Amino acid sequence: MVEELLARSAEMGDRVLQRLSGYAGRRKALRQSLIDRGLLQKKEALPPVAIPTVAAADGSYAVERLLGVDLLAAAAVAVEGITPPSETRHWPEPRHRVYLEEAAHDEASSVFLRAYMLGLELSLALEAPHQLVLLDGSITLPVIYWNQALARLRDARLEVADRFRKELELFLQLYRIVLRPRRSDQQLVAIPKYSTRRELARELGIDVDDRALASLALEAGEYTQPLPFERPSSPWHLGLEGVPKDLQDRLKPLVKEILDSLQESHVVYFRPRPWLPALRVEMSAAVARNPQRLAVVLEGLAAQCQVASMLEPYPLYLADRMVKALPRSIPAFRQVATQRVAEKYHGDLGEVYFTLHGYRSESGG
């Protein structure tokens, strides 16, 4: 089996080489196409701005399927970026949110845990007293994952589902702020590592991945003109059938505003350094259409991309490394819980170790 896979890996390398050669051969043509359509812009042409202060937030969750129960864990972490020399503001610690609970076996536990994790991430990010706040992942993730949780909320019996239900209104209000910022002195943007959307390729009428296209065509300090989001095959949706009627009535205007704002969201590809691929930067229309605010975003990203070994802005990289350690830490949490149970359990200790024996884990972020 291994020998066959190795042989096929070599064949796959040849196909990748062919694809890459095709991309490289089209570099000049792609760049010229962007210029001809007015899509290629230089950061230096934007209004001059001071280097902003930056923070980033990221989240992670893990479900450990034990023999007798499920162990649910979620965390959100915020990290401050490289600060300008004159920075004096202070952000009190702790800069994290955590959730750890045991629950009966339920195949929907990861759905609710992921939805709650995103709420924790947003609540932490919007506390940041900084001019630029970066969110890991797409700006559309909350509406996708929250809708999945809302579809199962009516019959949910999990404690994490109850928490999500109780804090849903707050989470939606925070999400609305991301999509329609109230403050002009704080920019909120999302930076996904990967996206299947192809706004840029659609404008050029070609079939090339957007981030690959931008990384080939853009030089350091260049960005693409803000483009509206590619519309999904089915409209974005947030179903409220699983929440109480009085809460439904209160949330409907808020949900409508969120969905309308998503339709107005924009994307920019920006290449901050010659050694980095282009970044996909998703933002609200209020930021994308304002040259001053857009300049703050790009200046902040350029200031946080200083090390060639980090293929994303410094605070996002650190937040990701910190919070993604959560799934690897689950065995330690389980061991501590097992020891506590063993100390206080009056029956056969074998029952403790059988009950808390892990056989499958799920994680994400």
The phi, psi pair for 97, rounded to 5°, reads -130, 140
Per-residue pLDDT of the chain (365 residues), as tens digits, is 877 877 788 778 777 777 766 666 677 888 888 888 888 999 999 999 999 999 999 999 988 887 777 888 899 999 999 877 667 777 888 889 998 888 887 888 899 999 999 999 999 999 999 999 999 989 999 999 999 999 888 888 889 999 999 999 999 999 999 999 888 889 999 999 887 888 888 888 777 788 888 888 889 999 999 999 888 878 888 888 888 888 888 999 999 999 999 999 999 999 999 989 999 999 999 999 999 999 999 999 999 998 888 889 999 999 999 888 887 777 777 777 767 766 666 666 666 655 666 666 666 66
First to last CA, the chain: 32
Within a 13 Å sphere around the CA of 327, how many CA atoms are in the beta-carbon half? Answer: 16
Task: Please state the φ and ψ torsions of residue 246, each to the nearest 5 degrees.
Answer: -65, -35
138, 192 contact by CB (below 8 A): yes
pLDDT for the residue numbered 23: 64
pLDDT of res. 103: 80
CB atoms within 10 A of CB 96: 17
Distance (Å, whole) CA 142 – CA 125: 14
Q: Are 262 and 216 in contact (CB under 8 A)?
A: no
pLDDT at residue 287, as a whole number? 94
> What pTM was computed for the model?
0.87
User: Quick one: how far is CA 65 from the chain centroid?
Assistant: 25
d(CA 252, CA 279): 34
Per DSSP, the three-state class of 276 is: coil
φ and ψ of 158, to 5 deg: -85, 150
Q: What backbone torsions phi and psi does residue 56 show, to the nearest 5 degrees?
A: -140, 150
pLDDT for position 43: 92
CA distance 114 to 365: 7
Reported in sequence order, the residue ranges of the chain that DSSP labels E, i.e. its strands, are 40-42, 54-66, 70-80, 96-103, 132-136, 187-191, 222-224, 227-228, 266-271, 279-283, 358-364
The number of beta carbons lying within 10 Å of the beta carbon of residue 20 is 12
> What domains are defined for the chain?
41-328 (3.30.2170)
**Contacts with 269 (C-beta within 8 Å, 6 or more apart), sequence order:** 200, 210, 211, 214, 218, 223, 224, 278, 279, 280, 281
Nearest to 122 by CA among 106, 104, 141: 141
pLDDT of residue 348: 66
Residue 362's pLDDT is 62
Which amino acid is it at 10?
A: A
Q: Which of 283, 299, 297, 165 is nearest to 228 (CA)?
A: 283
- The tokens of 94 are what? 């702790």
So what's the pLDDT on residue 175?
A: 95
Q: Is 74 helix (H, G, I), strand (E, B) or coil?
A: strand
